[in-house]
Chain A
């Protein structure tokens, strides 16, 4: 640990006093806090200068605890949405007789929900206790609601996907019976799964919004739409990549609708005042912009792709990437808003000052 540079012995007392003044414009490299206390900071004795700031807090520390959720959750937002969207498309394909699209989407739905389950359990502080989620069912806990949606959706999606392997089974014997029964069972399961899919895709919006995290909570009107659109976009992406162009016309239309829904919702995120900042600035802002750009590209390409496999694949990739970017963007934005006390203090003060009833004198009662 290095000490400060000694003062020049001939220096008049007070000559360095300005260094302790803080109302000077920010200049020079600022130290970054490290995990090891003040140690690890550069040599001491550097000038103390502070950027202008217009709110107060306790040593500038976060008032809220930043979410302890790891990126598992951001990932889950994507995989869960993908599964839900795919289940819807699978049902559509099933009802409109598009077997390849149906197979692809049922597979994706199963893959997505499997990944989701893994990510959710992995994120727990005590994964071995994941089943404690099933002790209760609480409407006030979006996570509890989501758990039950998953519990319903998962097996159905599984059955629907497994039914797709029926043609590979032998024609005779017990398995032969299964081969004959599987398709109708799969169809029923697929349709019921599709019925629960929209809930699966949109409850995650409430999951994030029902917290004290400023940029998530304030976004509650928009998040479900952003996530719904993002879910459809991702699912469309897979469809466009994996299904034959002959079957993807509805998917291309759906991609446009998805884009419309997500962009409409996303637009609201920009208009929440201070707590919109994280959606525009920094890493989370960049992710959100990337998500929007990719969405536009993907949707346009989907529109133009027609029967071109290459363009469809490109479109699909863009849509998938867009969904990933958006989910991580929203996740990061929330974490940022919780880490900076500004997003907690300033809006609450504004609200208080509007109420204008909190002068100390009146606070007595």
Chain B
């Protein structure tokens, strides 16, 4: 049953995928304002899903030695050290004889460490400049070098400091490009509205990897297939909570019916704003966004790209009809050119 919004716009994916009386759509709400960076989610995920090792390298990216979501890391806790004020805290180093911050400089080192994660392409090294910019936060976009006094990389002594932590995961998009482009039907939509790879079907064509606007799904070396978070489909089926949410000690990772989670999230943001944490904002919660809303959405304390998330992703298949039209036009042009070339030349 193809829906008007099958490629774009608000939609309840499970019924659209043909499930009769599907259960409510389940998902994650990850509240980074209570994340303590314990990485229990990473470990629980690896243990439950028997995910292989992802390398033993010290990356120097604060306490992040995982680096990114890969075929061998289905949860990834990001750590960002910023010499910037945190909405709830009094300045950490206000009265200490501290010099200028070094976070930006160390981030540039971290940007250049690369590691084999047992996946393809592993974790490519990054752009030092963008890394340095990260610690200043997005407010410095388009104003190179400029830093508010006492923060960022100015020569004044640092006073403010905050340490952002965020557990990233597959977004289980409403409009999942990986699923749409999969030529084998290996990726499928579950009755819970989540997106899962069938490892016995996947033939490693790699199309989903280029299609994912979040850079989540990844190919595993010496295996060839694509892997990603299944939102613990096996546990959901048994009425259990996904391993990461189960292990999270501070309820930073909340699992439940998506509608309910969206309500909780809105309330949480309101509370935080009430407490002066004006930087709190939701990400991926909006059914009208470029992917029709994420099944796993977040409460962030800085712009998405600071955490390695795309600021405004759009599912590539939104433009697919137009693409086919252009291809058709090109094909006709091609045929016509050939016809003209042969007929036109007839004496």
Chain A residues closer than 8 Å to B240, beta-carbon distance: none
Chain A residues closer than 8 Å to B140, beta-carbon distance: 56
Q: Is the Cβ of B211 less than 8 Å from the Cβ of A211?
A: yes
Interface residues of A in 213-232 (CB under 8 A from B): 213, 216-217, 220-221, 223-225, 227-229, 231-232
Chain B residues closer than 8 Å to A261, beta-carbon distance: 330, 333-334, 337
Q: Is the Cβ of A56 less than 8 Å from the Cβ of B335?
A: no
Q: Is the Cβ of B209 less than 8 Å from the Cβ of A65?
A: yes
Chain B residues closer than 8 Å to A140, beta-carbon distance: 7, 180-181, 317, 320
Per-position binary interface string of chain A over residues 133-169, scored 1 when its CB falls under 8 Å from any chain B CB and 0 otherwise: 1011011111110010000000000000000000000
Tell me which of A139, A216, A225, A349 contacts B141 (CB under 8 A): A349
CA distance A72 to B298 in the complex (A): 38
Q: Is the Cβ of A135 less than 8 Å from the Cβ of B130?
A: no
B239 on interface, CB distance cutoff 8 Å: no
CA distance A140 to B141 in the complex (A): 36
CA distance A66 to B330 in the complex (A): 28
Q: How far is the CB of A83 from chain B (nearest CB, A)?
A: 13
B58 on interface, CB distance cutoff 8 Å: yes
A203 on interface, CB distance cutoff 8 Å: yes
A310 on interface, CB distance cutoff 8 Å: no
Interface residues on B, range: 35 or more
Chain A residues closer than 8 Å to B248, beta-carbon distance: none
Interface residues on A, range: 35 or more
A65 with B121: in contact, given A21-B105, A132-B184, A364-B273 (CB under 8 Å)? Answer: yes
Q: How far is the CB of B158 from chain A (nearest CB, A)?
A: 11
Residue on A nearest B307 in the bound complex, by CB: A58
CA distance A282 to B196 in the complex (A): 37
**Which of B12-20, B32-40, B46-54, B339-347 forms part of the interface with chain A?**
B339-347
Q: Is the Cβ of B183 less than 8 Å from the Cβ of A143?
A: yes
B319 on interface, CB distance cutoff 8 Å: yes
B132 on interface, CB distance cutoff 8 Å: yes
Chain B residues closer than 8 Å to A34, beta-carbon distance: 114
B235 on interface, CB distance cutoff 8 Å: no
Chain A residues closer than 8 Å to B345, beta-carbon distance: 249-250, 253
CA distance A232 to B340 in the complex (A): 13
A190 on interface, CB distance cutoff 8 Å: no
Tell me which of A23, A127, A265 contacts B145 (CB under 8 A): A23
Q: Is the Cβ of A35 less than 8 Å from the Cβ of B100?
A: no
Q: Is the Cβ of B144 less than 8 Å from the Cβ of A52?
A: yes
A130 on interface, CB distance cutoff 8 Å: yes
Q: Is the Cβ of A143 less than 8 Å from the Cβ of B316?
A: no
Interface residues of A in 47-92 (CB under 8 A from B): 48, 50-69, 88-89, 91-92
Q: Most A CB atoms within 10 A — which of B60, B130, B316?
A: B130
CA distance A69 to B208 in the complex (A): 11
Q: Is the Cβ of A21 less than 8 Å from the Cβ of B100?
A: yes
Tell me which of B181, B225, B279, B344 contacts A142 (CB under 8 A): B181
Q: Is the Cβ of A254 less than 8 Å from the Cβ of B133?
A: no
Q: Is the Cβ of B134 less than 8 Å from the Cβ of A57?
A: yes
**Which of B22-30, B216-224, B251-259 forms part of the interface with chain A?**
B216-224
A129 on interface, CB distance cutoff 8 Å: yes
A96 with B346: in contact, given A35-B122, A48-B109, A211-B210 (CB under 8 Å)? Answer: yes
CA distance A220 to B335 in the complex (A): 20
CA distance A176 to B322 in the complex (A): 51
Tell me which of A59, A126, A224 contacts B203 (CB under 8 A): A126
A99 on interface, CB distance cutoff 8 Å: no
Q: Is the Cβ of A63 less than 8 Å from the Cβ of B316?
A: no
Chain B residues closer than 8 Å to A48, beta-carbon distance: 105, 108-109
Q: Most A CB atoms within 10 A — which of B55, B108, B212?
A: B108
Per-position binary interface string of chain B over residues 194-238, scored 1 when its CB falls under 8 Å from any chain A CB and 0 otherwise: 000000011111110111111111110001111000000000000
Q: Is the Cβ of A37 less than 8 Å from the Cβ of B58?
A: yes
Chain A residues closer than 8 Å to B342, beta-carbon distance: 92-93, 95-96, 250, 254
CA distance A232 to B334 in the complex (A): 8
A12 on interface, CB distance cutoff 8 Å: no
B111 on interface, CB distance cutoff 8 Å: yes
Q: Is the Cβ of B131 less than 8 Å from the Cβ of A57?
A: yes
Chain A residues closer than 8 Å to B155, beta-carbon distance: 21
Per-position binary interface string of chain A over residues 109-136, scored 1 when its CB falls under 8 Å from any chain B CB and 0 otherwise: 0000000000000011111011011011
Residue on B nearest A204 in the bound complex, by CB: B327
Q: How far is the CB of B186 from chain A (nearest CB, A)?
A: 7
Interface residues of B in 291-347 (CB under 8 A from A): 303, 305-313, 316-317, 319-320, 322-324, 326-335, 337-346
Q: Is the Cβ of A62 less than 8 Å from the Cβ of B126?
A: yes
CA distance A250 to B343 in the complex (A): 8
A224 with B123: in contact, given A59-B131, A210-B320 (CB under 8 Å)? Answer: no
B281 on interface, CB distance cutoff 8 Å: yes
A210 with B206: in contact, given A54-B141, A65-B121, A201-B331 (CB under 8 Å)? Answer: no
Chain B residues closer than 8 Å to A23, beta-carbon distance: 144-145, 147, 153
Interface residues of A in 11-30 (CB under 8 A from B): 14, 17, 20-23, 30
A338 on interface, CB distance cutoff 8 Å: yes
Residue on A nearest B270 in the bound complex, by CB: A364
Q: Is the Cβ of B205 less than 8 Å from the Cβ of A228?
A: no
Q: Most A CB atoms within 10 A — which of B145, B327, B339?
A: B327
Chain B residues closer than 8 Å to A271, beta-carbon distance: none
Q: Could you show 19 A-B contacts with beta carbons less than 8 Å apart?
A: A21-B100, A36-B115, A37-B55, A55-B130, A55-B133, A67-B206, A88-B338, A92-B342, A96-B346, A125-B219, A126-B224, A127-B203, A140-B320, A210-B317, A211-B181, A212-B210, A225-B326, A355-B312, A365-B266
Going nearest first, the 7 A-B pairs with the smallest beta carbon separation are A125-B204, A125-B224, A33-B125, A53-B129, A58-B308, A60-B126, A198-B331
Known: A205-B327, A212-B215. 4 other contacts (CB 8 A): A33-B111, A37-B57, A65-B210, A211-B177
Q: Which residues of A pack against B, CB within 8 Å?
A: 14, 17, 20-23, 30-38, 41, 48, 50-69, 88-89, 91-93, 95-96, 123-127, 129-130, 132-133, 135-136, 138-144, 147, 197-199, 201-203, 205-206, 209-213, 216-217, 220-221, 223-225, 227-229, 231-232, 249-251, 253-254, 257-258, 261, 265, 334, 338-342, 344-345, 348-349, 351-352, 355, 358, 360-361, 363-365
